[in-house]
Amino acid sequence: MKRLLKWIGGVLAVLALVAFGVLCYMAGSPKDAYGMVRYALPHMHSGTLKVGSDAPDARLVALDGVNHFHIRERIGARPLVLVFGSFT
């Protein structure tokens, strides 16, 4: 029984090391791997929208910081390309 537990523990440790290695490779460094796990993964969601779904609406703030408008107000006679992103 002890031997089995040792094996399981060993395998889990190797798997954890491999996962950490892959994460470091993807992120660029151990520090970035931590950043990815701590700050990125909790906010990344594939979502449930599909092609053909009704486009959800949301209220946005204009660049002047005062006025607001809705995404749906921009839907009209032409397709609307939505580009989501941030500065960093």
Of 1, 3, 4, 78, the residue at the interface with another protein (CB under 8 A) is 78
Q: Is there binding between residue 24 and another protein (CB under 8 A)?
A: no
Alpha-carbon span 67 to 65, nearest angstrom: 6
Window 33-52: contact mask with another protein (x via CB under 8 A): --xx-xxx--xxxxxxxxxx
Strand partners, 69: 60
Note whether 36 and 19 are within 8 A (CB). no
The pair of three-digit structure tokens given for residue 4, joined into one six-digit string: 């089995």
Which residues contact another protein (rule: CB under 8 A)? 32, 35-36, 38-40, 43-63, 65, 69, 71-72, 74-88
